Amino acid sequence: MSLQPEFLGKKDRIRPDGVSKVTGGLQYLTDLSFPNMLYGKVLRSQYPHANIVSICTDHAKKLPGVRAVITYKDIPGLNGFGIIIPNQPVFCVDKVRFIGDAVAAVAADTEEIAEQALSLIEVVYKPLEVIDCPQKALSPNAEKLHLDGNILHQSEYKKGDIEEGFKKCSIIIEETYELPRQMHTYMETEGGIVLPEENGHITVYMGTQHGYKDRFQLSRILAMPEEHIRVVSSPMGGSFGGKDELNVQPYGALLALATGRPVKIHQSRRESVRTGIKRHPMKVTMKTGVDECGNILAHQVRIVADTGAYATLGPAVLDCTVEQASGPYLIPNVDIEGLSVYTNNGVAGEFRGFGANQMVFALEGQIERLAERLHIDALDLRRRNIRKADSLGPLGQRIAPTNGALEILEAISCTPRTTKTRKESLTKWKVTGSGTAISMLGVGLGFGILDPGGGRLSLSNDGKIEAAFGFEEIGQGVVSVIENILLEEFKCSPEDIRILIGDTALVPPAGSSTASRATTMVWKAIKKMKSPFQQKIMEKAVKVTGIAADQLQFGTGGIWDKSSSLLCITYAELAQHISNESSNTVHTDFHFPTTPDDARGHYLYTFGAVSVQVEIDCLTGKIRISQLKQTVAAGPIISPMGYLGQIEGGSVMALGYTLLENALMDKGEYVTANLDSYLIPTICDAYFPIEVQAIEELCEGDSHGPRGVGEIGTIAVAPAIAAAIHEATGHWIRTLPISPEEILQAVTLKEMKEWL
């Protein structure tokens, strides 16, 4: 890690959950245990597409130690879930649509008995033709996977006259890019415990990115008031978007209610691979034209996304992919169309980057190809077409003024080697290359989606400044963000504060811990609450101390006298004089900033640029990253080490997407069934230096504060590596992940002799 000047000297702290995590002392939700606890298991489909002829659970129910066996007949409410469209059945009734579909579930005294019970459930299937690709799903004679057909969602954006635009172009590049299915591979797989309470309520201890949304979905399934369901959702061992949707929560809840006992349900890695959502595989066809001066005049894009068997967040992902199709460039004539298509493959949904990673790989690939044809540097081509501070957004919507695109471009242009075009040989069989790519990403949900948030500040009975937010700690460090903002605003110490998150019984709604929105929402919430909270506390301090309010200030340990620099009263002492909650508590609720232009895209954006150097062994095809730099424009840094961690971690995750990861499917079945055949980067692959440069300045008058950086670091790495490979070998990459075999096929001995 290389620290840039903006990080040096910044005060940072050990994250509140840091010590317990690195020492192994922290209990994740799947580590919990309760007396009289049962173990739950789910029976999944044997086929990716089949009719269910019959289900017989008699033998399983008779097995000693089995306490419940349930099917669709045991669901009191809605047999379906899904954040946007609840079309994924909790239990299938008459048809299965993918290999992870649930048919039945059991609760037993031990996990082994539960497994044995699953083997005793008799399900008779009638296999159907497997629709294993979007092309087959879109054919006229394809069976409809859902009543409304095989198209989940269509999205488009058009402006100008695309035909006239292409007529004016002197160079046109048309290319098709194929992007893979990627697994989240969080360390803690899906799971937790559901505890039935004596009053008929339940407590759900399971990792999620939106406890309140889970509560809402569970209430529909269980036919139970939301207020009767408590969701404890922190801490969890990673998500990256993969736990934003329900996974095993319904099964644990139904089994707990059926047995009246706590039920633990925790998926194995194989179960997680089979059932968990993945990044959308996409095919992107682009046709982009420029005039002789390098001005992009026309840009046509066609997107086909394989969303798998059910909706989950597929519509929103496609909308964001369409939004990314023009990127940070000003293009007068645009024609973008996207389809999200149902298949019998694994379900695809939310994943870090949310549709941007696929599109930016294609868009930046077009920029590189056009620059080569124009015989100009690709950075110069970007500079000629880059958006201005007051330009409209990529869907023609008004956005918060930002010069982030140009700032990251100019910053990355100063990186050594990015302007070199020659191929440098290290040895007789090794060549190097450098490449650059840029990206922009909307933060918040966008697209007119209801995006509320809020928070609460109070002085607790034991004298803590207590901040409560409905966010979840998924490893991203939101607890550190909250702590740092509180300490900065109230000039107190870590011992003076208490942070409550991830428990619907204790915290107010704050919206989802997704879309790089949490940092902005925490910052805005505390800013809104600070003054009224201070006023309430100061009024009480004045009464107790007799000192005028303008002479008092918040500080370490309590309220201080400005003139004498003495501690007047501790927070704990002051709390003893507060008799009711209303006199020491402040609430706020508000919405994430959105564009005033209907439901078009986002309003706030982050920008990122990546410069990378690669070394290629032409005997093995092995690609080695020797250096990587990320430049990010996301406003003020709140948590320096958290900022670095997000960008570095995102870089390594993107490295896997670029070079290693593909959750292959064959006729609707996962080829990669476990981590023994699905490779992700390890520390051995991330040995290269990662330099992070932050641009903290916002446009004058921008009052929206810091933008989140949880996703931006993952987006432009793949196209930068592809550009570096082209510089080194002359080979254009069209498909991810990039295999050594492809490099070997492209790099022949004859070509090597010509280069050297």
Contact 454, 508 (CB under 8 A): yes
Tokens linked to 578: 């507060």
Whether residue 10 has pLDDT greater than 90: no
CATH topology of domain 32-128+187-238+243-275: Aldehyde Oxidoreductase; domain 3 (3.90.1170)
For residue 624, what are the contacts with CB-CB under 8 A and spacing of at least 6?
Answer: 614, 615, 616, 617, 688
Cα–Cα dist 389/427, whole Å: 45
> Is residue 15 very low, low, confident or very high in pLDDT (cuts 50, 70, 90)?
confident
CATH topology of domain 452-591: Aldehyde Oxidoreductase; domain 4 (3.30.365)
- SS3 at position 40: strand
- 10 Å CB burial of residue 119 (0-12, 13-18, 19+) is exposed
Over residues 530-544, mean pLDDT = 95
Whether residue 687 has pLDDT greater than 90: no
CB atoms within 10 A of CB 393: 24
* DSSP tag of 88: B
Q: What is the pLDDT of residue 6?
A: 54
Reported as type and span, the H/E element at residue 155 is strand 151-159
Beta bridge partners of 163: none
Q: What is the pLDDT of residue 675?
A: 93
> Is residue 420 very low, low, confident or very high in pLDDT (cuts 50, 70, 90)?
very low
**What is 610-676 written as a DSSP string?**
EEEEEEEETTT--EEEEEEEEEEE-SS-S-HHHHHHHHHHHHHHHHHHHHT----EETTEES--STT
Cα–Cα dist 92/71, whole Å: 8
Radius of gyration of the chain (CA): 27
Cα–Cα dist 98/50, whole Å: 9
Cα–Cα dist 594/601, whole Å: 9
For residue 140, what are the contacts with CB-CB under 8 A and spacing of at least 6?
Answer: none
Q: What is the pLDDT of residue 752?
A: 53
List the single range of 596-605, 621-630, 727-736 with lowest mean pLDDT.
596-605
Residue type at position 247: N
For residue 145, what are the contacts with CB-CB under 8 A and spacing of at least 6?
Answer: 49, 97, 131, 137, 309, 342, 343, 344
Cα–Cα dist 333/289, whole Å: 10
Q: What is the pLDDT of residue 756?
A: 54
Tokens linked to 646: 């997000």
Contact 44, 274 (CB under 8 A): yes
Q: What is the pLDDT of residues 459-497, one digit of tens each?
A: 999 999 999 999 999 999 999 999 999 999 999 999 999
Whether residue 755 has pLDDT greater than 90: no
Peptide bond into 235 cis (omega under 30): yes
Cα–Cα dist 466/456, whole Å: 8
Q: What is the pLDDT of residue 748?
A: 73
Strands of the sheet containing 151-159, edge to edge, are 151-159, 333-342, 296-308, 282-290, 171-179
Q: What is the pLDDT of residue 419?
A: 39
Q: What is the pLDDT of residues 594-621, one digit of tens each?
A: 999 877 899 999 999 999 999 999 889 9
Q: What is the pLDDT of residues 347-356, one digit of tens each?
A: 999 999 999 9
Q: What is the pLDDT of residue 750?
A: 43
Judge whether 32-128+187-238+243-275 and 282-446+597-755 match in fold: no
Cα–Cα dist 99/524, whole Å: 43
Q: What is the pLDDT of residues 91-125, one digit of tens each?
A: 999 999 999 999 999 999 999 999 999 999 999 99
Over residues 277-302, mean pLDDT = 98
Cα–Cα dist 439/714, whole Å: 10
pTM of the model: 0.95
Cα–Cα dist 27/232, whole Å: 13
Q: What is the pLDDT of residue 751?
A: 61
- SS3 at position 183: coil
Nearest to 506, CA basis, from 571, 458, 443 = 458
Cα–Cα dist 342/139, whole Å: 12
Q: What is the mean pLDDT of the chain?
A: 94
Whether residue 427 has pLDDT greater than 90: no
| Rounded percentage of the chain residues whose pLDDT exceeds 70 | 96
Nearest to 663, CA basis, from 266, 275, 249 = 275
Reported as type and span, the H/E element at residue 742 is helix 740-746
Q: What is the pLDDT of residues 319-340, one digit of tens each?
A: 999 999 999 999 999 999 999 9
Contact 216, 274 (CB under 8 A): no
Whether residue 28 has pLDDT greater than 60: yes
| Rounded percentage of the chain residues whose pLDDT exceeds 90 | 90
Return the domain boundaries, the chain. Answer: 32-128+187-238+243-275, 282-446+597-755, 452-591
Contact 745, 735 (CB under 8 A): no
Q: What is the pLDDT of residue 2?
A: 47
Cα–Cα dist 654/666, whole Å: 24
For residue 683, what are the contacts with CB-CB under 8 A and spacing of at least 6?
Answer: none
Cα–Cα dist 134/196, whole Å: 43
Nearest to 90, CA basis, from 217, 272, 228 = 217
* DSSP tag of 173: E
Task: Output the CA angle 362-687-8, nearest 5 degrees.
Answer: 90
- SS3 at position 162: helix
Tokens linked to 673: 């069934």
Q: What is the pLDDT of residues 226-252, one digit of tens each?
A: 999 999 999 999 999 999 999 999 999
Over residues 342-351, mean pLDDT = 98
> Which bin fits 462, alpha (ψ -120 to 50), beta or left (φ > 0)?
alpha
Q: What is the pLDDT of residue 753?
A: 53
From the options 1.10.10.10, 3.40.50.2300, 3.40.50.300, 3.30.365.10, give the CATH code of 282-446+597-755: 3.30.365.10
Over residues 708-723, mean pLDDT = 98
Separation of first and last alpha carbons in the chain: 33
Read off φ and ψ for residue 323, nearest 5 degrees: -60, -35
Read off φ and ψ for residue 732, nearest 5 degrees: -85, 130
